[in-house]
Structure 1
Amino acid sequence: MLNQLFPNPDVLKRLTASSLGSLIQSYAMSHAGKLSPSTMQHRIRAAAHFGYWLDTQHIGINNVDACVLERFINHFSTCCCPQSRAGEHLHTAIGAREFLMYLGKTGVISPFLPMHEESSARKSLLDKFFQWTQLNRGISRQTGIAQCSHAATVLDSLGDDIGCWTVKDIRQFVLSHFEQYKASYIKAVGSNLRAFLRFLVIEGLCQPELIDAVPKTAHWTLSEIPRHLSPESVDKVIAASAALPRSELRDRAILSLLAGLGLRARDIADLCLSDIDWEQGRIRFVGKGRRETWLTLPQGAGDALLAYLEHERPPSNYNQVFLRSRAPFQPFKGVASVQQIVRLALKNADVEHPRGVTTHLFRHSLARRLLAQNIPLEGIGVVLRHRNLQTTAQYAKIDINLLQTVVQPWPEEKENYPC
């Protein structure tokens, strides 16, 4: 199992060099096929990092408990372990918790529960926060789970005595835990923490000024140029779905919907059979803020979707349209599956594309194509389901024809130059 996840023998040797090496091997075997390869790689690296740290601290496996895990997490700010990977401390904390829970279940250590699960009061608080996000904020379940995860992390770090939290505590927590991450991720973390603090204020558990204590990430509106593919490249990527025969029709349908309607990955993962109106040729999406929108189903995307449903989708009682291509034939657990399909298609098509961009690449490409057809920004905003025209305005930057009408000629002679 580990040989498949880490083909490089030097890497494998380093990951199993600690006193927990044999336990890491068993952990990998017990989870074979249950998690995606990328998730398992994160988990194994986290377990290896934890094992190395235990050895440096001369802590035996029998002495491991929640307090030891907290010490391990707190050492991240000064960590220089060879297993440490910049920007992955949150993955490491989660992976170490999961590894210890496995050891507890198998009897290697005393039954282990993460610190935020040891207190029924804390669990009740997080459950109440999750319900609040769903009923009062109108956000998706996955976003609610992410917000609860960050809430648990701040409780682990600052403790359950919320009334004693200070502005300095909140700022120090954010700076020490997330400074190595990308600005976009830190921005999301800050938003999640503000939501949790807002909930605590409503519950009367903390002071309102703590909400503004979360540092804001520098962000300049419309500062980036949307990256896109040419129409020919989009067609090439869709055709690349044939490289995976087991899921060819499913992947073609997903890529066609992304390209034809500029959907988000979450739209694909959540799409249900009941959302398709075949008689009217339209399809329903519930986007951000649970706003319901009906869009006309393009002919090409409709044909690809119908082919998948008739010839490839496994018999199932699930209402979700897209299912895993291998048993168990279940719906996608999240957007990562959709993003992975896009990554593989881009790789198989051998199309040059911006690094780090997946499903939104099709969204930007659709906007570029509509601009080339002289569709006004208001119309593009309707298709992309933007609530604010300012969001759609970013695509004016890639309208080359429009930009050429306002560009000033370069002065040919130096003496004519005003400066």
Structure 2
Amino acid sequence: MLEIYFSASKTLEHLRSGPCGPFLDGFAGALERQGYGPDTAVRYLRAAAHIGHVMAGRDASVSDIDLAAFEQHLRSCRCPRAKGGRRNHHTIYGARLFRRHLEKIGVCKPAVAAMRPAEPQLVTGFKAWLNKHRGASDATIELYARDAISFMAALGADPTHWCPADIRCYFMTRASTCGRGTIEKMTTSLRAFLRYVAMQGHCLTGLDNAVPAYAHWQLAEMPRYLSAEQVSRLIAACDGDAGARRRDRAIVLLLARLGLRAGDVAQLRLIDIEWQAGPLRVTGKSRHEVRLPLPQDVGDAVAALVSAFLEHLEDQRHNAAVTRNVRLAAIKSFFRFLEYRQPAALDQVRRVLAIPFKKTDTRLVPYLRREELQALLDAPDPATRDGIRDRAMLHLAVCAGLRVSELTGLTIDNIDISSMSIRVVGKGRRERALPLWKPAASALRAWLSIRGKVAAPEVFISARGEPLTDGASPIYSSSTPRPLPVNSLGSRRSAYRLMCSGTPAR
């Protein structure tokens, strides 16, 4: 499996000859199954090989991998072949993933988890308050709780003994070993915790003012930003037909056009998009909900998505152009429905409606000659109940040129016995009255005489008194002579030719 990520034979030989060599192929396969990118996987594999050499230098086997010792070694690593395996987050995390892989296959024993001290009741209530009343995310709650636990461990578990001088001293001590970002987060978390404790009545009010602000010159320079040209290049970098490219383009457009935070985009759900009205519902910090209009670029992406779907039908599912046009017709029908109900989406609707249909070959519809048609009508056995029914159905289909759905949906109320005509409601709810030839009228009378009284209003029923389905029609029945080109459209064309000749089938 290493050949997936490395092509040089010398590199492969070096990796497989090391202490961790027997396990690197399996680790590479695990990384591929988990969806890691090639560059990241290479770093993790080099880190796995690196930790093997470090353990060998300490006279330890692969089963005795010590992540703490490896991290300590990285602080002064001078290994000559540790390409991409020196100290960085990829190296440490890759070594951790490799140990988990070894534990999974039984090479290393699972590390004994350290017993975490019990969380103070005050911190538990603080976390619940952040979640319920402040709408903080899980990551923010964990960060605030960690600072609160460290604070209580230093100043004591009894808030009544806390004083401003001790709070300030604790903060300054911690800040001396932290960077700017950590200090700012600690300032916010400690102030929030002290306000909560004071609100609960466990300490004096105003202690949050004892936490000093971090002195940095926020307005000394303009905030960093991207120019319009840079934003355009960033969006253009996400062009492509791949699913990941389309996803990245949508994310960048939401960030650039609506000014959303990365967390806001990551938490978006399908139900947050109001497809009918057009706006996007975003829940930001402190559960503050806003409704923002979808940008025009997103509307363009809708039309591009429809085109990509049509290409997928032809390229991936190997559908014919006729099937592609049927799907496009259904999509256009839906967007015509939106056109008059959602004026705000008119531009997007028109872009979709402008997608053209593909030209297809127009084939001649097969039909039956007079001899074949007569063979079809004579196929049912007139001595049986089903044969009488099927004969009546075939005569009606040929005489009136009915579709299968029109034939099976014909009801008793649609038949005028006195004039021997039928009333049919076809596509588009168009109603038409059709007279019957004498052979068709005779076949229909024969069926009605033995049909009996049943609850179903349909003319043609099964032996159990239930309406027939389209598939049970004699047009598709196995008793129909083959290989005659018999189908609904073929029978309608055959009926048309007989009408033109003026000679009914008997």
Q: TM-score, normalised by structure 1?
A: 0.50
Higher helix share: 1
Work out which of the two has the higher radius of gyration on C-alpha atoms and give 1 or 2. 2
Q: TM-score, normalised by structure 2?
A: 0.43
